[in-house]
Structure 1
């Protein structure tokens, strides 16, 4: 039915390749491309169905354009680094190819998670008759769709949103990140922003904490308020939202290591001179930490990611909780990857399927919550991320405490 090029051969790229290969009726031709083709070949060797590989520098627009023009794919699935989003979008425009990613663009020299650079491509993609789907991972991605699904089926008006991301997995390391270390640490150490009464309010990172009891015996965890990019698009597309917050769980060991690393300057993004060379501390740190793609065999436990929405239905206050629980060891058995990569890679495949099947195909640049949630939610159940929706007592509130400023 369709040819796709997957750009990026990290943990998420591996999951996307595995999951696309499982849906042969849609993804009839798969090319996995990366700056290091050997990584692509290693992933391809894990997959029973043949997929092709190629080397490409995603920072080089001309090189990537040439590959797209030669291959003429129906869609590019971008699971490379967020720094490369714009160069890949430019190449897609040059070659006339639809585009999908899992995380918004971030400038290399500024820790800013914003959609403004990609939203600026709206007219270009619309004029070219091409679709760009932004943030088709889990958060952002599935959480955006969860919010839209709840708004469509359970509310007349949504007023408050809490996105809660709990990783109950244990990989055995005192400090490691479950996805790209540089992106993870920049994200976690950035100032917190949450939406309240029509504007973003800035607070120190990790300065608010709550204790959250996950359903289905996943456990009780400390969750910390932080900024995440889906808040920007959701607050724009749901104008009735009075408050929107993002929460993520962190263990004491992770936070202590991060605090020390920040205090000694190892999370810095500005170059420093060392022995006559310019190095970026956080990039050097990333080289010292375990490769996230190697964590699969070691990681046990489950994730619990979902959305709590408060609003009104027929004039009555209502609180709904929609969530997914994912098992690290089950993910590894299926695709040789831990659940963090799995929960990002599966929605990327489903978002691609939505475009290729025509459900979400329309010219322009779109966030996930702007699309019909129902077919995506059906495929979440079908392809490995089953979800549950429950109604909470209207009196439910997160028990928020002071956290620890980083």
Structure 2
């Protein structure tokens, strides 16, 4: 059993705290910290009501290494579960190195002043973590995270060569708002409005935002339009999966969401460049974030399901193989269990499982690693036990043949 410090009290932090509390045999002591301690106290109260466990809370500015170091030394955890903002990954990693604790996050570092996310900044910490005898596990959410593990599982059990990999992310949930995002609006809008990219024949091919569309019939959700985006798990998978000829990421969006997004872009509300307004400087996308519903408030009103999975085409023993592995999650079931909607749930549960893998020693090795670099089997077994059961089937689905 181990003590953990969770940093971040949004929807994902809520789920991680609930799930750690449910697994007392692994997580002996749980601390939850964020800039706003009242959010932590609210989650602690909810968890206590459901599980009877005490969650310790604290205030911390995750942009400040000094504040983080002070709190870590007070708590003395085995590891940090970082579910704060991607902008804060590096300060938290610095604090972990200074205090000698292990690290886990769910999203790779992104600079505050540039709409760009990649692993290079965090991979640069490898040698320091190795020398310190510490482990950093990157991207232990769903995508990235579970999708990486799905790929590793396929590679281990079903394929000699994985030629074509398509990652499909569908949120069929309805929250009733004209426009809202299911996680941090600033991160979400920056991700969606950036140029797309896919990996083919050893090269990255850039696309315009929403340039490529396919219609896919998702089990228990129905037909949805999905669009080609760049997503961070492809960066590490392109390195760690050997011999992949092409890898793409697809995400579903409704017409209303895209229309609102188009308007925001046309009038500059998605900009990260500061402007002057009535004598003070504001960042348009941060102003927009303040106008939109808090993703953590969507749980009670979101109905429907998510369906996220990976389709792989390749060979086994010289014969063609095509398989589809996926998870379906119900928003209202997630809310009943953790007071959070399905998008937070599908990120928070894998964060807890990643921490469990490290604490139990299934995944423990000094350095900085992505999810697919470890044995997928214990993680896959834990998904079935912890609320994210998966289906692994042969398929004749050809993504390229789907209607546009």
Partner of 2:8: 8
After superposition, the C-alpha distances for 1:8-52 in whole angstroms (9 at most, x for unaligned) are 000000000000000001100000000000000000000121110
2:146 paired residue among 125, 142, 147: 142
Other structure's SS at 2:206 match:
strand
* Pairing 1:390–2:398 present: no
Partner of 1:77: 81
Partner of 1:308: 311
Structure-1-length-normalised TM-score: 0.97
Other structure's SS at 2:62 match:
coil
* CA deviation after TM superposition for structure 1 residue 218, in Å: 2.0
* CA deviation after TM superposition for structure 1 residue 396, in Å: 2.5
Partner of 1:153: 157
2:267 paired residue among 257, 264, 269: 264
Contact 1:212–1:398 (CA under 8 A) maintained in structure 2 = no
Root-mean-square deviation over aligned CA pairs:
0.9
Partner of 1:240: 243
Partner of 1:249: 252
* Pairing 1:373–2:376 present: yes
Other structure's SS at 2:269 match:
coil
* CA deviation after TM superposition for structure 1 residue 113, in Å: 1.3
Q: For 1:380 and 1:390, how far apart are their aligned partners in 2? A: 17
Change (3 A) 1:116 1:401: farther
List runs of 5+ in structure 1 lacking aligned partners: none
* CA deviation after TM superposition for structure 1 residue 400, in Å: 5.4
* CA deviation after TM superposition for structure 1 residue 174, in Å: 1.0
Q: For 2:171 and 2:74, how far apart are their aligned partners in 1? A: 41
Quick check: 63-72 or 244-253, which moved more?
Answer: 63-72
List runs of 5+ in structure 2 lacking aligned partners: none
* CA deviation after TM superposition for structure 1 residue 332, in Å: 0.6
Contact 1:113–1:228 (CA under 8 A) maintained in structure 2 = no
Contact 1:209–1:400 (CA under 8 A) maintained in structure 2 = no
Contact 1:208–1:400 (CA under 8 A) maintained in structure 2 = no
Q: For 2:259 and 2:368, how far apart are their aligned partners in 1? A: 40
Other structure's SS at 1:330 match:
helix
Partner of 1:21: 21
Partner of 2:113: 109
- The 4+ residue runs of structure 1 with deviation greater than 4 A are none
Contact 1:75–1:98 (CA under 8 A) maintained in structure 2 = yes
Q: For 1:113 and 1:344, how far apart are their aligned partners in 2? A: 18
Structure-2-length-normalised TM-score: 0.98
* Pairing 1:206–2:236 present: no
* CA deviation after TM superposition for structure 1 residue 401, in Å: 6.2
Partner of 2:175: 171
After superposition, the C-alpha distances for 1:83-116 in whole angstroms (9 at most, x for unaligned) are 0000000000000000000000000011111000
Contact 1:208–1:401 (CA under 8 A) maintained in structure 2 = no
Other structure's SS at 1:146 match:
helix
Partner of 1:354: 357
Total equivalences in the alignment: 400
Q: For 2:211 and 2:399, how far apart are their aligned partners in 1? A: 18
